[in-house]
Structure 1
Amino acid sequence: MTLPAGPWDDPVRTALALPLPSADEDQPLGVLLAGVSPSRGLDEAYRSFHQLLAQQISVALRNAQEYEEERRRIEALAELDRVKTDFFANVSHEFRTPLTLILGPLSDALTDATAPLAPLQRERVETGWRNATRLLTLVNSLLTFSSLEAGRARSDARVVDLAALTAELAGVFRAAVERAGLTLEVSCPPLPRPVAVDPVNWERIVTNLLSNALKYTFIGRIRVALDADDEELRLTVADTGIGIAERDLPKLFERFHRVRGARSRSHEGTGIGLALVHELARLEGGDVRVASQVGVGTTFTVTLPWSAARRTPMAGPVTDGRGDAARAAVEEAMGWLTAPEDGPAEPDRRSGPSTDELAGAEILLADDNADMRAYLTRLLTGQGWRVRTVTDGRQALDEIHRDPPDLVLTDVMMPVLDGFDLLRRLRADPATQALPVLVLSARAGGEASVEGLTLGADDYLVKPFAAAELIARVRAGIRRARHRLRPTGGQRPATRQRSLPSPDPPRPTSRPRRPNPSATRPGPQRGRPTRTGWAPSWTAAGPTRPRPPRPRRCVATSDRRWVTSTPTRTCWRISCSPRARP
């Protein structure tokens, strides 16, 4: 390579090969071949200059590579997001056909005057229709959100009386708000100018904000106001709810973001409601802001400039389905509320009333979904069991301490105190350690069931479940509980008050012979009930004739122990370790 250099263009005859260091320093980025000037000696200062040159080139190359890698990552994420959005759109479209075929026959059955349904059958069909409608609302929300993200959504602007429309939508929620013990204030005076907006999008904005306010407000009021000035019109939805911490405000309008540990009327939701409000407000040419203070309340403000409100309206009638989103949201909100006048559900005796020894058992049901509570109540009372219902884990804990049931049937995802936290507190309290708990959850998979069983659940059942399977598991749980808490006489205690720990049986005056000389006699545990498969009955005259022997397996050690007995010998009580379960 001919390379002249210096003031007289002398040929370069010497070059330095300098490696370009990389970030990991294992493999260089390349090699810099730098010619040495023939007019200057290659001293230490000249070598240092070449080293600095190589480092600067290495930094520039690394920056370029990182920029290129970041660009490729962004493109990959964008492609993944596009694929996911298309998937949501396709799945949402596919859900619509079976939902139509579900809702259609259900609606026909409810409105058929020639063959009216029996009361019990009507209640079942109404439950199916309400939840199919809720599923359709969720599908529509996912479809709208995916269309907004893909940039395919549009605003079918119409000139509407925005004040009257807003007041009408707020009025749909009045019954639910008053049932919750709150006050609904609506202030929507006529606007000075006509407004062109998409009424369906505006309905979704108002509906989501009002549902959010009702969900997180327990005392006080909800206020809906619409006002305007020379620059913009403003929709304000303010509540006196729990408020939002300042650290959560920047992420409030992100999709799928949910404030952890927030107290609410229900744990149900997809986490896209406020993100949908933000996207729909931007689609209409406006914006949404939020101001909140913990313990005081939250105020959402949707602003719409007059320049966006004076768009050219589209021709044609208003899109069908107006008002459906508001009615579906109110139906769902009614499920969060439990009115005191709601009576017990009619028992579902599909398999006939129970006549076995488990009849009359009491079950505490904890679930935040009203339809699920009603369905399980009908199912369990049809077996001859008594059912008490609560809406969250805190209420369940209070009910258990007030009057312990035979079994606790709890959901996992609940407000205030979820099912796993309830389970932790029950197992940490010596008075409720032995209380059987059956966990219901929509969280499928091995990790969720392992977590529940590790915390001490007696059983774990994933939704959706078969009614027969649930009844069988509840029956097994009650039978196991009664078996291990059975007193020495073999009969169930006359009173429901659990005496934990149980007292030791009186000792006989003379020590009876052991069945096996090599066997040991472990004493009963103090401070907690002795979990045993059977035990001898003691009288003033001494031990009575024992029951037939039964092998028992200790869960902690997986050991089986047998005790043989004859009419002339006495069987001794066998106790497990404190952490073992029979």
Structure 2
Amino acid sequence: MVLLVVFNRMLTRPLVGIIHQLSEHNPNESRQLLCPTGHENDEIGILAQTINQLLRKTGQEIDQRREAENRLTEYLGELENMVSSRTAELEAANARLTQSNRDLETARSMALEMAQARSAFLANMSHEIRTPLNGLLGMLSLSLDGPLSSEQRQQLSVAHASGKVLVRLLNDVLDLSKFESGQMELEQIPFDLGALIEDATALLSQSAAPGVELTCLIDPELPAQVIGDPTRVRQIASNLISNALKFTRFGRVDVRLQARDGCMRLAVRDTGIGISREAQARIFQPFAQATADITRQYGGTGLGLALTRKLCEAMQGRLAFSSKEGLGSTFTVELPLPSHTPATPRTALQGRVVALTPGSSGLADLLEMQLPHWGLGYRRVDIGCGLAGIEADLLITDCPQCLLGLRPAIGFPFLVVTAYGSFLPREETLALAPLQQLARPLSRSALYLAVTRALQAVEEPPPSEVPDSRAAPRQQQVLLVEDNPVNQMVAKGMLVKLGYEVAIAPHGAEALSYLEHGPVDLILMDCNMPVMDGYETSRRIRQDGRWPELPIIALTANVLPEERERCRSAGMNDYLAKPLRREDLANMLHTWLPSGTSAT
């Protein structure tokens, strides 16, 4: 009992006191536990001190955590304020963006409306301008075919050439407007690219200065046909060639076409005035030329290169150039035109050909490219070197004067290639026979035919005996549906000269009446007429069912793309744009009237 009393007093009661203090201790208070009296230095005192140390540390940790929580709360508040501020800014930016989008959509709608209004205006203005131009150029062309004095012929020729320049300018302006309004559409049809480039070069050769040699160099491995838009490709080539000829007074203009890395590469190189470094940055801008002095001296509007670049970009191609002032320029076009038909080799020829020409001439480059490819032996001799001891079957030269005195010492045929105005007179031609004369630039087919004839000793028939494969039978009847009296006179004059009989109807109702009573082989249908226009007339002809195969060719001054589709939808077979050119009219009639049989 004594021990129990001692243990209770010495251990149990102090420990129970400490336990009671701990149970009532508040963590938020800094109050310490009281050590039981008399136990300051024993184990119970040490326990009380240890508990107090733990309580102090716990209080400190609680204070630190509370302080951290307070700081975190402050940070969260600041973050919420920042998020609210950014949200407000984003909402304001979204509102501004929405308003900008509305403004842009409004501006886009206005731009589209303006583009459509401009296109309609250009179409109407084109029609109004082309109608009198058709009469002007047509009458001038008909007048040039009649008996005139030399002075009258020169004056009318100048007027006719000026009218054609005006038509080209009108076409360029319309094409640029199509690009800006997004209405330019490209065809994807097979065509002979080499023949197209040769035709464009030959057509523009009459613009070459007397001292300029124009040469067309076509890669023998070029595909026979490629797929693309032949009209636009011809436009690109014509712009580059005419530009080179305009600024070249002496030397050469080379048109080189080859297939390279899946692209068709057209390079036009000239030895003209070149382009200064300062002017090169603006030559592709519409209505801009290198300098004002060039505009005064050479003329032009500066639309050609701008339009050419846009056409190249529309075809996913590339237009590049290099130039040095005074040393000429080279413009290179690369167009991704897929091959449709591979190159077709010509029948191999046998013989030896000698060229009497400088090594710097375009003729030498042409012969070196083509003749070995045709199986011919080829050798070039400089002008001034003798021909003694040279064995050949044909001599080709671009120096007609070099042939004088060579007969009868040299017996093989001569082929002279020169400009139209430099042909040998008849007396010298007879003295040098057998001799053929060809005008440059030479096409591949013309060169091949001339070489074949010369090697086979076939004499060239006189011009009067050459059959005209496109001569039209005089009994074929063309119905011209046109309300403008001047255009009636122009078209009728052209048709009569081409050998056709012509009937005229001033509007569609009379055309339908004429079809009921007279035989008609083809109809030339103006689109815009009073009483009944060409579209309605064509639809009624097709719906009637009696003339399903009768060709109807649209005549219109509206050259925008949708006009062609509108004509086709109405039942017309083809399309001719005003002002009419006799060559285009003849080609169109030959296409649709090859047999000469009438449809009644």
Instruction: Indicate the TM-score class for this superposition, using the shorter chain for normalisation.
Output: 0.3 to 0.5
Q: Tell me: higher relative CO, structure 1 or 2? Use CA pairs within 8 A at least 6 residues apart.
A: 2
Of the two, which has the highest radius of gyration?
2
Q: Normalising by the residue count of structure 1, what TM-score does the alignment of the two structures yield?
A: 0.39
